[in-house]
């Protein structure tokens, strides 16, 4: 009589082809480091302008009064920039003229 506690060896075919017996646990693989996803390049000026225009169109469709206030503020800001640049240019020209007058006065012979 065979003792009931003793397990029979699996057959050769079962050992070769992985029978229904307990399979040996596969060794755990260490998780590979994931590379960070490549960052998308920063949008160009053209891309930003296009997205701004698309946003303005959406705002205009949903709330035209809000679009009008946004456009008004943009126009006022641009006019302020232009006025500031004109003022700086005028000051630059005035400084050049003042220096030129000063040189002429220094070069004038005394009578």
pLDDT of the chain, 111 residues: tens digit per residue: 555 666 677 777 777 776 655 556 666 666 677 777 777 788 899 999 999 999 999 999 999 999 999 999 999 999 999 999 999 999 999 999 999 999 988 887 655
Count of CB atoms situated within 10 Å of the CB of 19: 13
Axis crossing angle, helix 64-107 with helix 45-62, rounded to the nearest 10: 130
C-alpha to C-alpha distance for 95 and 90, rounded to whole angstroms: 9
User: Token pair 């240019």 is at which residue?
Assistant: 89
CA distances from 57 to 46, 50, 77 (A): 17, 11, 20
């Amino acid at each position: 009589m065979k003792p009931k506690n003793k397990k029979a060896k699996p057959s050769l075919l079962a050992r070769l082809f992985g029978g229904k017996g307990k399979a040996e646990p596969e060794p755990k693989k260490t998780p590979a480091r994931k590379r960070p996803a490549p960052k998308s390049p920063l949008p160009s000026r053209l891309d930003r302008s296009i997205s701004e225009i698309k946003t303005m169109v959406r705002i205009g469709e949903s709330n035209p009064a809000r679009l009008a206030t946004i456009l008004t503020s943009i126009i006022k800001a641009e006019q302020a920039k232009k006025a500031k640049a004109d003022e700086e240019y005028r000051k630059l020209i005035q400084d050049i003229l003042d220096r030129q007058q000063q040189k002429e006065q220094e070069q004038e012979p005394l009578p």
